[in-house]
A = this chain, B = another copy of it.
Amino acid sequence: MSTVQVDTPGGSYPIHIAAGRLDSLAQSIPADATAIALVTNPTVYGHYGERATKALAQTGKRVLRIELPDGEAHKDWPTLNLVFDALLQNRLDRKAVIVALGGGVVGDMGGFAAACYMRGIRFVQVPTTLLAQVDSSVGGKTGINHPLGKNMIGAFYQPISVEIDTDVLATLPAREIAAGLAEVIKYGLIIDAEFFAWCEQHVEALRALDPQAITYAIQRSCELKAYVVSQDERESGLRAILNFGHTFGHAIEAGLGYGQWLHGEAVGCGMVQAAELSALTLGLPPASVARVRALTAAIGCPIQPPDLGTPRWIELMQVDKKTEGGQLRFVLLPEIGQARFEAAPLEALRRVLDQAAVAQV
């Protein structure tokens, strides 16, 4: 088993990565827990619910199952409230533990429910998608969407541990693997050029879920994200670079309606756009932009942005949390493996967005 330790002012916790880790979930539950709430969705429960429940039952504690409807479209208040209803109806107290078994949506909602229930109870993340394993389970971001913007309501709240079972990737659709790999290569692009090159060399092994390759990719991604988060838990500085590709990506998701593209797909496409913007503003070499485009395509992500129309693109990006005093800011690359968070001239942004529309015609 690999362990990555995450240290933040809000709490320290381990990430355990191992094939078959699901069967050892009892180890993640503190002895003084009064009950366990397993928050999941029907799809994940169908695959892994019984195994997880059996593992958790080894603690001898009550395991309450809470199934949420599947998908980003349900990452909202009414669905979150289903968790609160269940917790209160079953009288779980503040020493209960939430176990969030599922992808990013389940993790974000299970974590936010834990952050808010009785002003905060403990929770364990068990991410079952590649995207959640390498991204949303690390760093304590939890929350829900608002009709006017994604992830607008939430909390920074750390789990007591993250339990990653690499076996569960076997049941993921290919699109989900591609979406997860987009975040993997993102870490290389913003902070570790060597890891980016390693991904280029192992792209076929990664797509085929070769155990050794995928385990290393998850571990390295968690290490890199843990490093960034430990420097800056509350996103006042360095952490912002993790949003590379996300300002474009969030606009794609909001513009097409949540759930049309997977989050990772939108980020993958957004990374290509952010690389193009980096070329115009920071002089990222054309050959590097080509590498970003080629690897994004090779992992199976779309690289052609939808034609939302430039004014709509800009409007959607303005509501993003990364605006400050109304000015649009982006994570941009001076070169592969380095990132900066700064305002981009509107002129350059328009050129990137106009190009997208032209390409589509």
Contacts and interface: CB of A to CB of B under 8 A. Distances in A.
Given A84-B146, A89-B148, A120-B234, A321 B94 contact: yes
Nearest to A9: B9
Interface stretch (A110-118, A256-264, A287-295): A110-118
A324 interface: yes
Given A88-B146, A146-B84, A146-B88, A152 B93 contact: no
Contact of A152 (B117, B154, B155, B235): B117
Contact of A95 (B93, B149, B324): B324
A333 to B, nearest CB: 24
A154 B116 contact: yes
A323 B155 contact: no
Contacts of A325: 34, 93, 95
A321 B119 CA distance: 10
A174 interface: no
A34 B323 CA distance: 11
Q: Which of A89, A153, A319 has the most CB of B within 10 A?
A: A153
Interface residues of A, number: 38
Given A88-B146, A88-B148, A88-B149, A120 B156 contact: yes
21 contacts: A77-B77, A88-B149, A88-B152, A88-B319, A91-B326, A93-B323, A93-B326, A94-B324, A95-B325, A115-B155, A116-B143, A116-B154, A116-B155, A118-B154, A119-B142, A119-B151, A119-B154, A119-B155, A119-B156, A120-B156, A120-B234
A225 interface: no
A34 B91 contact: no
A85 interface: yes
A81 interface: yes
A355 interface: no
A156 B132 CA distance: 27
A141 interface: yes
A326 B318 CA distance: 49
B324 A34 contact: yes
Interface in A50-107: 77, 81, 84-85, 88-89, 91, 93-95
Contacts of A85: 146, 148
Contacts of A153: 84, 116-117
B155 A143 contact: no
A6 to B, nearest CB: 17
B146 A119 contact: no
Contacts of A95: 324-325
Contacts of A146: 84-85, 88
Nearest to A113: B153
Contacts of A143: 116, 119
Interface string A309-340: 00000000011010111100000000000000
